[in-house]
Amino acid sequence: MQRNGFIVWTICLLLISFSHDSFADHDNEREKHESKYVSPVNNQTFKQECGTCHFAYQPGLLPVGSWEKIINNLPSHFGEEVALDGKSKNIISEYLQANSAERSSAKRARKILKSLGGRTPLRITETPYIREKHHEIDSNIFSSQSIGSKSNCIACHLKAEQGNYDDDFVKIPK
């Protein structure tokens, strides 16, 4: 009888160990698919229609609700009237939804989402995560002629177009 109890306990320990290893493997697998950087913009309609007037921000920098608000408010897009034909609007909307922060594998996108607490800001610069990342920079720097505003990411982030916003690739222009 004691021998059977020992066998049962041994099997339980093996199962627990296997289960733990499976979870560890799952975490390692998720990390393999996780990216440090947000995916670069790869939609030509989005690049052409949005990137003509400003930096074509990666969809992973905002949640889908924010992108929906922006797309649905194009007649008054940050003080400008933006007119898109129906086909282009649909292509851009689908691209933004499919690649929004919720659907991104990037660590930065997850950090942005976590900082939002369910809110849906209209500007990337309104996200708590982005504000925190820039809190030590004097506001006069952003309004300098070489930068213009906080929304001009490519002025300082040398690899922003590739989705890399790491400090190693930041150079604040004079």
Task: Using the predicted structure, report yes or no on whether residue 137 has a pLDDT greater than 90.
Answer: yes
Q: In angstroms, rounded to a whole number, what is the distance separating the alpha carbons of residues 171 and 43?
A: 27
Quote the tokens at residue 139: 């506001």
Using alpha carbons only, give the angle 113, 155, 71 rounded to the nearest 5 degrees: 45
Q: In angstroms, rounded to a whole number, what is the distance separating the alpha carbons of residues 138 and 162?
A: 26
Handedness of CA 162, 47, 33, 60 (dihedral sign): positive
Task: Using the predicted structure, report yes or no on whether residue 4 has a pLDDT greater than 80.
Answer: no
Task: Using the predicted structure, report yes or no on whether residue 25 has a pLDDT greater than 50.
Answer: no
Query: Which tens digits make up the pLDDT trace of 105-127?
Result: 999 999 999 999 999 999 999 99
| Average pLDDT value for the chain | 88
Q: In angstroms, rounded to a whole number, what is the distance separating the alpha carbons of residues 56 and 59?
A: 9
Quote the tokens at residue 44: 């030509």
Question: How confident is residue 145, by pLDDT bands cut at 50, 70 and 90?
Answer: very high
pLDDT of residue 10: 53
pLDDT of residue 174: 87
3-state class (DSSP) for residue 33: helix
Question: How confident is residue 96, by pLDDT bands cut at 50, 70 and 90?
Answer: very high
pLDDT of residue 85: 96
Quote the tokens at residue 143: 């309004």
Question: How confident is residue 26, by pLDDT bands cut at 50, 70 and 90?
Answer: very low
pLDDT of residue 22: 45
Quote the tokens at residue 21: 């290893």
Burial class (CB in 10 A: 0-12, 13-18, 19+), 89: middle
Angle in degrees, 0-180, between the axes of helices 86-98 and 64-72, rounded to the nearest 10: 170
Q: Nearest CA to 172 among 121, 137, 125?
A: 137
Task: Using the predicted structure, report yes or no on whether residue 104 has a pLDDT greater than 70.
Answer: yes
Query: Which tens digits make up the pLDDT trace of 35-94?
Result: 889 999 999 999 999 999 999 999 999 999 999 999 999 999 999 999 999 999 999 999
